[in-house]
Amino acid sequence: MNCNLCNSHNYKKRNGSVRDNKDLEIFECCDCGLVFLSEYKHIDDKFYENSKMHKEFNFQIWRNQTLEDDNRRFEFIRNTITNKKVLDFGSGNGGFLLNAKSVTKEIAGVELDDAVKSFYQKDEIKLYKDLDKITDKYDVITSFHVIEHLKNPIEILEKLKVI
């Protein structure tokens, strides 16, 4: 197995588990720092659109479960995103973006899960499902716990670079 970003064989196993597949192992590249999964067979082109990661889907419970992380991430990056246009790639339930809304010029999320659409509309968060459909330019692009789930991180990072 090689790192999906730099192709290195030099990686270490990390503690923890993947929420939607406990059988997967998590690794970290010792050369470039990318965190990646032991396999990607479970991910097809439509996997995240209706992921059912939250078996008994209750949006507010999901948002409450991520509140501490959303707040921590926001506080960590607050100064960097103030008065900027921010795009969060893999924005999940939008909790981080709700925090960011208070200090940014504009916010938007990229999220494939169809279950979030109505909640983003209610919270007035611009939502994209496809990077190729984004015509706006953003000053800051964030991504939390997403890159390690991509089969093709270089391709996605290249697309994000020009947004």
Residue partners of 48: CB distance under 8 A and separation at least 6:
112, 113
- Whether 47 shows a pLDDT value over 70: the answer reads no
pLDDT digits (tens, 9 = 90+) for 136-161: 999 999 999 898 888 888 999 999 99
**Mean pLDDT, range 110-122, rounded to an integer:** 92
The single-letter code of the amino acid at 78 is: R
* Domain ranges within the chain, ordered by starting residue: 1-42, 43-161
Pick the CATH number of 43-161 from 3.30.70.20, 3.40.50.300, 3.40.50.150, 2.60.40.420: 3.40.50.150
pLDDT digits (tens, 9 = 90+) for 59-70: 889 899 999 999
